[in-house]
Chain A
């Protein structure tokens, strides 16, 4: 059983929380649950209601649609957060590629913590805005290169 401190030590390296202050992260850590999946176990299926975000401590998970791999996520990475943040059903299937040890936050509890601690929501918004900026910059650069090539 991990302590809150140990969970924070792990969560601070998850990109979703890269802007989150440690004290806020402790609040998030306190609502996480430790979960384990055996190799080959299906964690969730396509179109399942989104119920949680997962943070992989050890192991690897395959995110796929039928036989087509979308992503492989492993140590210190998260999955399922996009559906939770957009409140949509799962659009991929998640299967453990090997034995997986992870932390799980149910979306209801996650939103409760966000609502009670607006600064955590601000931290996540900052992260998402940063990602959008990078995407915009990349697409601008792509356009510049495309025009040059043309």
Chain B
């Protein structure tokens, strides 16, 4: 592979529009880290050569206290000043104070060296954090993930240059002479900050819509305390800081055993920094960003703890200069490369305002607290508990090993929480996926609905009743409310409650219904009579005959039911006469009686010879009668009715009733449904409704049938099957979905999506990568292909909903359609972490809005070894497509683009029996933009396509 600019760009994964931003941040971090290395090396070497390494813990404690005070002030300043002002000012102040300290050292002022050490600490806390903060202002989650690796390499390059600078110049001019150079780098950095901010004003405004910057240390601490995820990040940072600070002291202590001169020591530090920088640079540049992409945060977060564990063990076993170097490398190589990028990524699921508040607090106060704690532990285990031997710095490992163990444990914990945090992050900004039944089960929602049921407003009570009926487990939820509502002063509510109770499977309220036989409202009395003779064995006829105003059909229905329930053949003659009387009147006036007759026939175990009466009612002219007859047929659960129910399923006027009737059969009908669903000779109008029936019946067997039929050529049917599976998945968590049966059709769907991309890029290379909302400026074919892709993408997500959490995928699907770029980026980031590598490889290029159409097409060609299509080949494929609409659009496009090579194919299509194709072909040929073809121009290949 040649190392040209394209290759480097590919490795770095930087988009064209972000070259400058990434490069500027790279340079900014480079300058800051170079300055830091110089400042820290000089201050540490001067301190150790003057006071000894084992005095470092005291300096660290002093440094921690001072930094905490300064940071409190710094956070207050965030409230007052704009970020670029504050960052630039603090950089200039740090540079100026470096020059002042150099001047004081030259004049041998007492107490400057501890002050210099503290200054080095403050520089290390403030300056690098500001780079990442600025980066978070200008990049989305997705971009940040992509570029932070590259920007981090700028820091590592700073190590190399800073180290080289120190190594060469410290022995020549003396360590302290290097301090003024820090001021120069700080000035350049301040200018860069201003430039970066100004050129990204629009982007910052777009991304930071809600950055309330009014916070204090206490608020930040409270914010962390109230979030498990933030608490884990804080613990991770604290323990990592603790462990690396102990490693830092151990490194200094071992070095001081072998080197005593301050300039030699500074130069040695410089050498170590240079080698460390080279290692980290190569690691980050070549693997950093990709490692995060490929392995994910779950693996990269373990890199630093494991490297610390290795070097600490080595230092325990051997105290030598090389183990000191190993300690330093294990800490710094990964801390400033992979670990830094990984830790930055941990903050990304957190809302922007919280992130700004908390991150500054963690990166400054908490980080310092870790340092201070490390110093206290070192003093404790050196002076009070003699675990550490001053003469043997290797023994410091005994203190650090348990701490590193704890660090590993927290890293494992945070891996799990990262995904949850991302999930809840975009859930709060997206659509809520819970279905209505879930809401009803939720106590707060139920409580709210109870308030409605108790409302004096009739409309509100009826509204609440309507909502409550949507739930899956409505009977037990509704019963107490409905029972109470039977005594409601408003007749409409009493009636609605009783009607709903009539649909229940059991005789819950017979006494209450008997009481309603005397109700003042006619409709309620009729409904009560129906309820009582349906559910009670009492002699309802005698009772209602003594009561006034009962319609004939209610009495007839009651008598008919009583006669049939006695199951005596000598009654059937009379029953037949009554039934005939009920159904005789075929006009609108007799409709109520026919409905009642159909209802009664569904309430008993009907003798077979009576089935024909129900079948007659299924063919009634009034849809209401047909629907009731279908419902009754379902209640009988007799297989005689199944062909009629299936027939009714294909009719849009009766399909709902037929579906519910089929559902009454339950699992007994699954075999029949499977046969119909998998039989391609069954009309599509019928097959299309079977998945819904299966999903209403539910159970593992229904899942298996649907999965077995998933590999459908008919896109509409495939979609219905998927919807049914999604419904089953969300309603019953115990159901199992065989991954093998899902992956094949899922990949077929993805392949189709990529194929559309190939076709699109061939006939319209300037097409947008995704369907756009707003005015329709694109040509018909481009729009139609993009719409097909849009539908395909929905199906892909429906497949994913079967493999992963249904709610997560539902959220992600809508997250990708959010108008806010940050939401879309967060969703892509979420899916990147959620999907397994095989799926991720195919799906991410399709959902990342920054991947261009051309890049997507290239991916498709690489995945399926497709050749690059010409415009003519693309249109020819569309002309031969099974989709007639795409075919018609392709003819129009061929005419507009004057693709003469397709004339023969279009001439053939003009003879098609399909009117859409023939009229379009004729119209296109009539346009005369295409060259007429002779008979021998007809290509056999093209004609095969038409066939």
Contact = CB atoms under 8 A, between A and B. Distances in A.
B22 interface: no
B440 to A, nearest CB: 24
Contacts of A9: 780
Interface in B615-653: 652
Given A13-B776, A115-B652, A116-B652, A5 B920 contact: yes
Contacts of B787: 21-23
A109 interface: no
Interface string B689-717: 00000000000000000000000000000
Interface in B782-803: 783-784, 787, 791
A8 B923 CA distance: 14
B892 to A, nearest CB: 6
Question: Would you call the interface of chain A mostly helix, strand, loop, or mixed?
Answer: helix
A63 B753 CA distance: 46
B293 interface: no
A3 interface: yes
A10 to B, nearest CB: 11
A23 B920 CA distance: 15
Of A21, A22, A26, A116, most B-chain CB atoms within 10 Å: A22
A4 B888 contact: yes
B888 A5 contact: yes
Contacts of B889: 5, 22
Contacts of B780: 5, 8-9, 12, 22
A32 to B, nearest CB: 14
Of B885, B888, B916, B923, most A-chain CB atoms within 10 Å: B885
A9 B895 CA distance: 15
Given A22-B784, A23-B787, A26-B885, A4 B916 contact: yes
A128 B780 CA distance: 24
Given A12-B776, A23-B885, A4 B919 contact: yes
Interface string A9-45: 1001100001001110010001000000000000000
B573 to A, nearest CB: 43
B884 to A, nearest CB: 9
Contact of A22 (B652, B885, B916): B885
A108 interface: no
A57 to B, nearest CB: 16
A17 to B, nearest CB: 10
A72 to B, nearest CB: 22
Question: Would you call the interface of chain B mostly helix, strand, loop, or mixed?
Answer: helix
Nearest to B783: A22
Contacts of A26: 885, 888, 916
A145 to B, nearest CB: 22
A9 B889 CA distance: 10
Interface residues of B, number: 15
Kindly state the interface size class of chain A when it binds its partner: 10 to 19
B116 to A, nearest CB: 58
Given A9-B780, A13-B776, A22-B787, A3 B920 contact: yes
Nearest to B774: A18
Nearest to B920: A5
A147 B824 CA distance: 36
Contact of A6 (B652, B776, B784, B923): B923
A8 B783 CA distance: 12
A125 to B, nearest CB: 16
A5 B784 contact: no
B818 to A, nearest CB: 16
B173 to A, nearest CB: 67
Contacts of A30: 916
B923 A3 contact: yes
A12 B919 CA distance: 19
Contacts of B776: 12-13, 18
Contacts of B892: 5
B923 A23 contact: no
B790 to A, nearest CB: 8
Contacts of A23: 784, 787, 885
B914 to A, nearest CB: 11
Interface in B899-947: 916, 919-920, 923
Contacts of A4: 888, 916, 919-920
A3 B652 contact: no
A26 B784 CA distance: 11
B922 to A, nearest CB: 8
Nearest to B779: A9
B656 to A, nearest CB: 12
Interface in B108-124: none
Nearest to B791: A21
Contacts of A5: 780, 888-889, 892, 916, 919-920, 923
A21 B885 CA distance: 11
A22 to B, nearest CB: 4
Contacts of A8: 780
Contacts of B919: 3-5
A55 B515 CA distance: 58
Nearest to A130: B773
Contacts of A22: 780, 783-784, 787, 885, 889
Nearest to A21: B787
A9 B920 CA distance: 12
A66 B916 CA distance: 43
B724 to A, nearest CB: 15
A116 to B, nearest CB: 7
Interface in B447-498: none
Contacts of A6: 923
B786 to A, nearest CB: 9
A26 B914 CA distance: 14
Contacts of A18: 776
A13 B783 CA distance: 13
A22 B888 CA distance: 11
A71 B888 CA distance: 37
A5 to B, nearest CB: 5
Contacts of A3: 919-920, 923
A62 to B, nearest CB: 26
Nearest to A19: B773
Interface string B867-895: 00000000000000000010011001000
A48 B908 CA distance: 47
Nearest to B922: A3
A30 B915 CA distance: 10
Nearest to A4: B916
Contacts of B783: 12, 22
B912 to A, nearest CB: 13
B723 to A, nearest CB: 12
A53 B45 CA distance: 87
B754 to A, nearest CB: 21
A18 B889 CA distance: 18
A115 B783 CA distance: 25
A12 B888 CA distance: 16
Contacts of B920: 3-5
B924 to A, nearest CB: 9
Of A6, A8, A13, A116, most B-chain CB atoms within 10 Å: A8
Of A4, A9, A12, most B-chain CB atoms within 10 Å: A4
B296 to A, nearest CB: 37
Contacts of A116: 652
Nearest to B771: A21
Interface of B: 652, 776, 780, 783-784, 787, 791, 885, 888-889, 892, 916, 919-920, 923
Given A4-B919, A5-B916, 12 more contacts: A3-B919, A4-B920, A5-B919, A5-B923, A12-B776, A21-B791, A22-B889, A23-B784, A23-B787, A26-B885, A26-B916, A116-B652
Interface of A: 3-6, 8-9, 12-13, 18, 21-23, 26, 30, 115-116
17 contacts: A3-B919, A3-B923, A4-B916, A4-B919, A4-B920, A5-B889, A5-B892, A5-B919, A6-B923, A8-B780, A12-B776, A12-B783, A13-B776, A22-B784, A26-B885, A26-B888, A115-B652
**Closest 5 pairs between A and B when the two form their complex, measured CB to CB:** A22-B784, A3-B923, A23-B885, A3-B919, A21-B787
